[in-house]
Structure 1
Amino acid sequence: MVIRQTSAPRRLLFAAVGLSMAAAFTSACSSPQEAANEPAGDTTPIKVGLVYSQTGALAGYGKQYIEGWKAGLAFATKGTGKVGSRPVEVKEVDDAGDPAKAVSAAKDLIGQGYKIIAGSTGSAVAGQVAPLAAQNKVLFVSGPAASDAVTGVNKYTFRSGRQSYQDVLAAKSYLPSPTGKKVLVFAQEGTFGKSNADAVKAVIGSAGATVDNLFVPASATEFTGFAAQAKNAKADMIFVAWAGTTAPAMWQALDQQGVLGSTMVVTGIDQRASWATFGAAGSKLSLLAHYFDGASDNEATTALRKGVEGGKVDLFHPDGFTAAQMIVRAAGEGGDDVDKMVTALEGWSFDGVKGKLTVRKEDHALLQPMFQGKFSGSGADLKPELVKAIDPADATPPVVQMKG
């Protein structure tokens, strides 16, 4: 058995090759609870390895992922935990957000005969595990990892969540006619801020807007001067990309300097635990969202809510739920033949927590709705409300050339 790993090369992902949604949705549609096509009487376990963050900086995301997975598995198998007559046997491994630990865990699982690996809470982890899938011809379904590099990295790699390009397309929905408009990216210095700035330039800048960047040192704790610069920029939209404990002070400064009242400020909504960091500024923001509780209402959403602690759905619960749906589909159609699993997923459309989802055949991007939201309430009662569901056709990243 081949078990090795190489770093995924950095590459440009914005190759513009359009794909009509009509073509994407002509592939076979089927229910996530469809009966498996396994021979009657086969009780060999379907072994699934889940490598995700149980501890570490992304442990909160990991907790949501595994809760979503369990609810999704129950939904997709109609409560049996089986694909046909075969039980789904799950082994969970903690990568602690460390790519090296994730690679070691994935290699170990592959060595034990696992042909299905899922998880990857973080992008750095997904980027290191994905090559193993191609090298060993196992199915890999990445989770909350948002890196665009996961899309099209190889034929054996899929994703159950959204990617960064879809986030920025959601932001662009607030500026339907970008030509002649001015957009300011207000972000922290470093990889996170730069990646967001690059994406905004690629998506919104290429549509005709002028995009400028205002990078704030990651070590900054006083933001009045930066907030004043943001206001003086007189932008039609300010896109804020921020993470960490300085967020409350940053939002307070933007509010005190009148930025939030003078222009449209767009930012992404994180998990519930972060909502309080917006403070009094929360209700003045335009939110883009991968997901939040209340963004959708369907059979899958109801099933997820019943399977989540306290019924409180969070940002990455859908990613675990969707992964279970995809793996039940793959195993049901492909049995133990990984290439058949891949074929079963390519072009597949199904109803998920977020709504209609489609696995794009060409590069395995997961086409899905995104959401606009607004905060209401204040303090501990602050919560997002749905403004608009963005159709998958309006949140579709460009096709990339499949590698490997």
Structure 2
Amino acid sequence: MKHLIKPLSGAILAAFAATAAPSVFAQGKDLKVALIAGKTGPLEAYAKETEVGFMMGLEYLTNGTMAINGRRIKVIVKDDQSKPDLGRTLLAEAYGDDKVDLAVGTTSSGSAIAMLPVAKEYKKVLIVEPAVADAITQEKWNKYIFRTARSSMQDALAAASTLKSGSVGFLAQDYAFGRDAIEAGKEALGATGSKARVVHEEYAPATTTDFTASAQRLFNALKDKPQPRVLAIVWAGPNPMNKIADMKPERYGIALVPGGNILPVMKTWKSYAGTEGTIYYYYAFPKNKMNDWFVAEHTKRYKMPPDMFTAGGMAAASAVHAALSKAPNAKNGDEMVAAMEGLSFETPKGKMTFRKEDHQAIQPMYHFRIKKDQKTEWDLLELVREIPATELPLPVRNKR
């Protein structure tokens, strides 16, 4: 298989975003996909990575033609600014006015949750990427919702699998993502057989810059508890790990346990060599043909390897490509749902599969250690172990 290696030009990107063709799965008609992301606002770095990965994924999977069986794929990109009301409006616009056949989005869990009823109203598929809140594939789910992104519980199960005993304190953002993640974290400890005990949960506004009070409450709660004592940080956006570390938690025998983050954030963790955590994706871990191309091509174009949200975008593109290839003549969303249930597709992480019960993509995760000897700017992590999906007992809770 040959793949284009030239960067996508502005003209080509503009063509991808065109919206002229009708949305009927008939031979020769364009296939239209909406990509909704929070391109402005607090999560814009994640959204921009998702878009890059999505477009590169379609390029790779179509050999650069941006077509499936001679039918062009048109991508309509919309910015919901991570605002739930706007996300809901833009998805309705995509289904109703733009007549897209599939939609992908969005960055914020709050906005994604607001979009779910719109997919049900229009009876069209929404592939959620990269929002992680468990509610998306649990109590807020409907049959038109599929998710390539990992869920909070998948994150939590991966982290819990590395902690067998001791005491845990959590620091998280005080909104849907943070509270959802901590609830999942507490449950995951039990599900994986860990004997570790959660002794304190600390929630701070997403805009917090001074973590002194929060950190001190966590230190006080942990300092006399059984070892190992860990402070787990779950945070989207600028990460507070360095600020917490400056307060010297090691005085109390407390170790910081970071969740995986984007490369520019993890790049600031060099002084924490030996610290371990878990992550959705790190470019050097998966070994497969798609990831090899992805890493080489992204590095060539952007002077750095692909990041975790870039990989998520590519996974979503692969799901779209697989769905449209399997059901090119689907007449409606119900037929597309039937084609996608149980669907497997290749991603930079390897194969993912949409579980039939709740349409969550089942996938591996990674246990990492921050490297002591970092040979290059982005040589940050070493692989402790790939955690297979079979070791992540993800519950089904969508009341289908």
**TM-score, normalised with respect to structure 1:** 0.80
- Give SS of 1:357's match: strand
Larger CA deviation: 387-396 vs 303-312: 303-312
Q: Does 1:89 align with 2:89?
A: no
- CA distance in 2 between counterparts of 1:320 and 1:57 reads 18
Q: Is the 8 A contact 1:49 1:114 kept in 2?
A: yes
**Structure 1 residue 75, shift from structure 2 partner:** 2.2
- Give SS of 2:57's match: helix
1:397 aligned to 364, 380, 394, which one?
A: 394
Q: Is the 8 A contact 1:224 1:254 kept in 2?
A: no
After superposition, give the CA deviation of every residue in 1:272-311 in whole Å (9 maximum; x if it has no partner).
121244352x214211101112121211102322442225
- CA distance in 1 between counterparts of 2:253 and 2:246 reads 10
1:360 counterpart letter in structure 2:
R
- Give SS of 2:42's match: coil
Q: Is the 8 A contact 1:53 1:121 kept in 2?
A: yes
**Structure with greater contact order relative to length (CA < 8 Å, sep ≥ 6):** 1
Alignment of 1:130-279 (within 5 A): 130-152=116-138, 153-175=141-163, 178=164, 181-188=165-172, 190-191=174-175, 193-205=178-190, 207=193, 209=195, 210-215=197-202, 220-222=210-212, 223=215, 226-227=218-219, 229-236=221-228, 238-243=230-235, 244=238, 246-257=240-251, 259=253, 265-278=256-269
Q: Does 1:375 align with 2:370?
A: yes
Q: Does 1:98 align with 2:86?
A: no
- CA distance in 2 between counterparts of 1:110 and 1:253 reads 50
1:241 counterpart letter in structure 2:
I
Larger CA deviation: 344-353 vs 154-163: 344-353
Q: Is the 8 A contact 2:157 2:392 kept in 1?
A: yes
After superposition, give the CA deviation of every residue in 1:16-64 in whole Å (9 maximum; x if it has no partner).
xxxxxxxxxxxxxxxxxxxxxxxxx932100111111221111111111
2:327 aligned to 323, 334, 352, which one?
A: 334
Q: Is the 8 A contact 1:275 1:382 kept in 2?
A: no
- CA distance in 2 between counterparts of 1:186 and 1:108 reads 39
- Give SS of 2:352's match: strand
Report the equivalent of 2:109: 123
- CA distance in 2 between counterparts of 1:208 and 1:172 reads 7
2:244 counterpart letter in structure 1:
M
**Structure 1 residue 225, shift from structure 2 partner:** 6.8
Q: Is the 8 A contact 2:211 2:243 kept in 1?
A: yes
Identity of aligned residues (%): 26
**Structure 1 residue 389, shift from structure 2 partner:** 0.5
- Give SS of 1:215's match: strand
- Give SS of 2:385's match: strand
- CA distance in 1 between counterparts of 2:67 and 2:178 reads 43
Q: Is the 8 A contact 1:48 1:118 kept in 2?
A: yes
- CA distance in 2 between counterparts of 1:94 and 1:157 reads 20
Q: Is the 8 A contact 2:167 2:222 kept in 1?
A: no
1:231 counterpart letter in structure 2:
K
- CA distance in 1 between counterparts of 2:363 and 2:38 reads 24
1:365 aligned to 360, 365, 389, which one?
A: 360
Report the equivalent of 1:348: 343
**Structure 1 residue 228, shift from structure 2 partner:** 5.6
Q: Does 1:78 align with 2:70?
A: no
Report the equivalent of 1:16: none
- CA distance in 2 between counterparts of 1:72 and 1:151 reads 24
Residues 323, 189 of structure 1: alpha-carbon distance in 2 compared, 3 angstrom cutoff: closer
Report the equivalent of 2:294: 304
Q: Is the 8 A contact 1:193 1:215 kept in 2?
A: no
Residues 77, 216 of structure 1: alpha-carbon distance in 2 compared, 3 angstrom cutoff: closer
Residues 291, 326 of structure 1: alpha-carbon distance in 2 compared, 3 angstrom cutoff: same
- CA distance in 2 between counterparts of 1:381 and 1:86 reads 39
Q: Does 1:388 align with 2:381?
A: no
- CA distance in 2 between counterparts of 1:229 and 1:211 reads 10
**Structure 1 residue 201, shift from structure 2 partner:** 1.8
2:281 aligned to 274, 281, 291, which one?
A: 291
**Structure 1 residue 245, shift from structure 2 partner:** 5.7
After superposition, give the CA deviation of every residue in 1:113-133 in whole Å (9 maximum; x if it has no partner).
112111201111110111111
Q: Is the 8 A contact 1:134 1:155 kept in 2?
A: yes
Q: Which runs of 5+ in 2 are unaligned?
A: 1-25
- CA distance in 1 between counterparts of 2:252 and 2:396 reads 40
- CA distance in 2 between counterparts of 1:189 and 1:312 reads 28
- CA distance in 1 between counterparts of 2:385 and 2:239 reads 29
CA-atom RMSD in angstroms = 2.6
- Give SS of 2:308's match: coil
- Give SS of 2:33's match: strand
Q: Is the 8 A contact 1:205 1:211 kept in 2?
A: no
**TM-score, normalised with respect to structure 2:** 0.81
- CA distance in 2 between counterparts of 1:215 and 1:378 reads 33
Residues 114, 204 of structure 1: alpha-carbon distance in 2 compared, 3 angstrom cutoff: same
- Give SS of 1:399's match: coil
- CA distance in 2 between counterparts of 1:245 and 1:269 reads 10
